[in-house]
């Protein structure tokens, strides 16, 4: 048992008892003989973040191919560099990404990358949560689709008894994957009662090409292929018309909003407020650092709020409470994880922030300060599943993780 003493929760001082992996009790004063007592004077507790769309191992691509459009950026800069990646690079790259996520207050991420056993190992060691999907991309090669479906089935069949990790599936997009692969993965996800992630309608060209090839828009196509549902996440989902919004709502499909990446690659801005008003389940993600260029959900919240206002032409769009919720509670809820709020009975995933940090004063509205003013310098501690994964800004093995990452970057740029 861990007892947090004198911590600010919703502007009131209280004590919080962590028992096993849950928030057991919240009260003005708790008198109990705990294994550890943490003095939280001048600290506030907030739920940690859930980053619902990223490509963790793209860390080595930070700052590459700046100011190019999405097609040139991918084909000229990203794909040739990714072709050099070997499985042994993925573990150090994943560890470095996780280091950045923990420092910026994230305790759960949904990845989309390759050589996933290496990422699984990094997640297990560093103590956070993750949804790790088996990769699906076949470039319309039927044999490759069969091969992927077979290997994905093996992946889902292998026992993996870590409650912090959920095995899932991803298909890259309708412009890189065949109907056979997408429907095969969707059927598998249903059979194994797990999640499927896919990039959808990130750019207008994708929509236009889909209409030309299939005679309908991407969301309509995925609905026809029976891919949509509450366990399917559409990453980006920028260009949806009203009929598609209705399909997303009707099927309970989850959306992963990536405002920084969309603005940086100039692929359009999601109508966040319109989607929220329509009752869609929107979550927040950073995308990879190659198009962000950080994994900080704090920066992502600011862009989500600002781009929502700009897109709606209204200051009342992208409200503080809503933006904070899409970055925390909505993400955990979408993946059936009982976290994202500081309440008794919830999983103990949270951050402690220093209320004397320059960005958090004056404390008129803590969530607003977190969205519009703060950076990760205010975060002192991060807990996941009841255990500290950063204490007083220290993450175990940090120096080694950094030196290994630098070695891999040098290797890949050689
Ligand atoms: Zn992506």
**pLDDT at residue 71, rounded to an integer:** 80
pLDDT value for 155: 97
**Run of H or E including 143:** helix 142-157
pLDDT of residue 414: 79
Distance from the CA of 12 to the center of ligand 1, in angstroms?
39
**Which residue numbers in the chain have pLDDT < 70?**
none
> Domain boundaries in the chain?
2-47+352-398, 49-334
Q: How far is the CA of 261 from the centre of ligand 1 (A)?
A: 9
Query: From the CA of 40, how far away is ligand 1's center (Å)?
Result: 37
Cα of 15 vs centre of ligand 1, distance in Å, is 40
**pLDDT value at residue 74:** 84
pLDDT of residue 373: 98
Predicted confidence at residue 218, as pLDDT, reads 98
The reported pLDDT for the residue numbered 70 is 80
CA of 311 from ligand 1 middle (Å) equals 21
CATH topology of domain 49-334: TIM Barrel (3.20.20)
Task: Find the 202 Cα to ligand 1 centroid distance in Å.
Answer: 9
Going by C-alpha positions, the residue among 214, 223, 213, 225 that lies closest to residue 180 is 225
Report how far ligand 1's centroid is from the alpha carbon of 324 (Å).
Answer: 21
Tell me the whole-structure pTM to 2 decimals.
0.97
Helices and strands per DSSP (H, E), number in the chain: 16, 15
- The predicted structure's pLDDT at residue 9: 98
Thinking of the domain 2-47+352-398, which architecture would CATH place it in?
A: Roll (2.30)
Tokens standing for 336?
């059936």
What pLDDT was estimated at residue 73?
86
Among all chains, which residue has been given the structure tokens 């059927």?
187
pLDDT in tens, 101-132: 999 999 999 999 999 999 999 999 999 999 99
Q: How far, in Å, from the CA of 200 to the mean position of ligand 1?
A: 10
Give 197 Cα–ligand 1 centroid separation in angstroms.
10
C-alpha span between 7 and 282 (Å, rounded): 30
């Amino acid at each position: 048992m861990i007892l947090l003493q004198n911590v600010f929760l919703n502007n009131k001082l209280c004590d919080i008892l962590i028992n096993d992996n849950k928030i057991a009790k919240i009260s003005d004063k708790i008198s109990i003989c705990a294994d550890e007592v943490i003095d939280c004077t001048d600290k506030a507790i907030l739920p940690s973040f859930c980053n619902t769309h990223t490509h963790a191992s793209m860390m080595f691509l930070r700052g590459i191919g700046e100011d190019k459009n999405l097609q040139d950026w991918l084909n000229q800069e990203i794909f040739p560099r990714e072709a050099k990646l070997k499985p042994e690079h993925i573990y150090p790259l994943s560890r470095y990404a996780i280091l950045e996520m923990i420092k910026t207050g994230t305790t759960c991420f949904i990845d989309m990358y390759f050589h996933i056993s290496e990422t699984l190992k990094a997640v297990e060691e560093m103590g956070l949560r993750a949804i790790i999907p088996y990769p699906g991309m076949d470039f319309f090669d039927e044999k490759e689709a069969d091969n992927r479906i077979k290997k994905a089935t093996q992946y889902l069949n292998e026992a993996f008894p870590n409650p912090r990790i959920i095995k899932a599936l991803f298909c890259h997009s309708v412009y890189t994957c065949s109907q056979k692969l997408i429907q095969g993965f969707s059927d598998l996800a249903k059979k194994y009662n797990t999640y499927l992630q896919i990039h959808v309608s990130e750019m207008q060209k994708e929509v236009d090409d889909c209409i030309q090839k299939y005679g309908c828009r991407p969301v309509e196509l995925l609905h026809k292929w029976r891919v949509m549902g509450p366990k399917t996440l559409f990453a980006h989902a920028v260009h949806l018309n009203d009929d598609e919004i209705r399909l997303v709502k009707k099927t309970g499909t989850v959306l992963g909003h990536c405002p920084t990446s969309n603005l940086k690659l100039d692929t359009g801005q999601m109508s966040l407020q319109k989607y929220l008003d329509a009752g869609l389940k929107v979550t927040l993600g950073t995308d990879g650092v190659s198009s962000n260029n950080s994994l900080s959900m704090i920066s992502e919240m600011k862009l989500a709020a600002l781009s929502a206002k700009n897109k709606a032409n209204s200051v009342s769009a992208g409200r503080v409470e809503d933006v904070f919720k899409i970055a925390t509670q909505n993400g955990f809820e979408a993946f059936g994880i009982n976290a994202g709020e500081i309440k008794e009975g919830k999983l103990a995933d949270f951050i402690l922030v220093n209320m004397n940090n320059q960005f958090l004063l004056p404390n008129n509205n803590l969530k607003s300060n977190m969205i519009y003013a703060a950076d990760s310098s205010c975060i002192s501690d991060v807990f996941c599943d009841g255990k500290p994964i950063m204490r007083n800004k220290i993450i175990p093995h940090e120096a080694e993780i950094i030196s290994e990452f630098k070695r891999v970057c040098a290797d890949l740029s050689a």
